[in-house]
Structure 1
Amino acid sequence: MEHRRHGFEEIVADPGVDRKDRQQRRDQHADAEAHQQYPLILMDEESTVRRVINHAFRSENIVAKPAIEATYMATAVGMVRARLGVALLPSAAVEAKPSGRVKSRPIAGRDFTRPIVVIRKKQRTLLPASEAFLVVLKRRLTGAPTSFSAARKQAPLP
């Protein structure tokens, strides 16, 4: 079993500010305290995503007060697109955003992460496709460039 942590990002509607300001904002990490000034769009209280967010806010002595709660991450992104507030979501959800009208940036703080665990049977050989997937996953979690063609070179098909 392998265990790694994956981060969260804030999702914001592009305010239409000038390019330089937008780039500076993208390059910076958001912090938990800054989110108190915006309407927060958080996941449902019962979700694991919300538990991570609540824990991270508590570690900063901040109470998370959502303006809106969503059951699905795509709904939260849609609410951001409608300019209803700022959403805090796992970075994997950010990659699926369909529009350039929504921007994201990482949230600073160790507690804004959640574990990703790979479970596999002992002494079993994985299929080449599974090996390639694990290579891509590890590269993605370490920030290295990812592609399945590169992964196939590291875990070639028979």
Structure 2
Amino acid sequence: LLGRPAINALSIVSISPSIGHTSSTAELNSIESAFEGVFSENPGLLKGDPYAIKLKQDASPYSISVPRRLPLPLLGKVKTELERMLKLGIISKVTQGTEWCSPIVAATKKDGSVRLCVDFTKLNEHVIRERLVLPSTDDTLAKIGSPQFFSKLDATMGFWQIPLAD
């Protein structure tokens, strides 16, 4: 991958310092209304079969016995985030013991809310890695052709959009 200095030096792409708006606010609002599901603040769901994480045959289950401590000021925010994730169907309650259980880590976002992360270090030791060869920059540029416009898109909570197999 090339950085901006290399792209500029090679004159591959000219970066305009200003962004031109070709649509009116009314047009944008109309598009947003017509495709509400695409512009939602909540995560969508990738179509297709749920993704199955493959484990090595000698994988032995790992479960924490004591949860990691969370800073007291974050407890309320963590509870709120867990309830939100439950409501959205991202997580589900576990009402009985499980062989696999990894600890959560709460990271504070810029806006003061929390991002819940799971420490899958022990699980990752047992995962069979898929080998994926990423295309080179040259291959990608050749496929793009001669575009005139670029857009930046962000999938809301991207990893939550991939359903997992049981």
> How high is the TM-score relative to the length of structure 1?
0.24
Please state which structure has a larger fraction of its residues in helix.
1
Please state which structure has a larger fraction of its residues in strand.
1
